[in-house]
Amino acid sequence: MDHKGEAFCQLVDFLHRRHAQWARNPSADHKLQRLHREVIRSYKIIEPGRLRGLLISVKAGEEIDFLAGDGFLFLKPHEERGPLLPVMSLKADLERLVLKIRLALFTFDEDEEPAAIGFRFETPEGPGLHNYHHGQMITSFSTARQDLPKVPAWLPTSQPALMMSARNPFSLFLGVLIGLYGLDVLEQEWSGQRFMQSLRGDIEELKHGCGAPV
């Protein structure tokens, strides 16, 4: 496992711990806390020990899949953007430069009931329609699981497949996090984290590809 793979594992662990710290904070936004309680009734947070085991597998060059019954990676909400809770699953084989991200954004609808919209972000899939880094919409985390709450049945899940400026699994993952938190969070608030040193070049490439100031 090279330094970028190690940084990816550190980043995933950081995100898991960051959410756990938020969830234990009694002063966190009360509406978000209520949303969190509602969501974890149906979607299990991955346990720290199990996450460590999966990340050890990644470092050993093995494929991992969160949807194999291990639980979900909950992310810290961006409290300034209203009640919006990100929940993610990952399928990764970094030796083959493969990463499949499933991301659901949970909120409350007009009846104060949980609702969600979902996306998948994937590395190129080989010859065919989706042979590039892309993002699509989803109605569930997998065909074997229940639909996301209140998601429209008509939502298109095959097309469009929106091209991403990512060049590898690492910049794809970073691009998703930038979409959630903003570029300034990664460049400023997370700048002291060890993984940022190894991934900084990927962030610069993303900025260049998206037309952001570099």
Instruction: State residue 28's pLDDT score.
Output: 79
Place of tokens 């990927």: 202
Q: How confident is the model at residue 130 (pLDDT cuts 50, 70, 90)?
A: confident
Least confident of 25-34, 75-84, 189-198: 75-84
* Proportion of the chain above pLDDT 70, given as a percent: 97
29: pLDDT strictly greater than 90: no
Q: Which tens digit of pLDDT belongs to each residue from 158-194? A: 888 888 889 999 999 999 999 999 999 999 999 999 9
What pTM was computed for the model?
A: 0.93
The contacts of residue 74 (CB under 8 Å, 6+ apart) are 16, 19, 23, 36, 40, 45, 85, 86, 87, 88
Instruction: State residue 143's pLDDT score.
Output: 64
Tally of residues, the chain: 214
Separation of alpha carbons 16 and 87, rounded Å: 11
Token pair of 101 as six digits: 């991200």
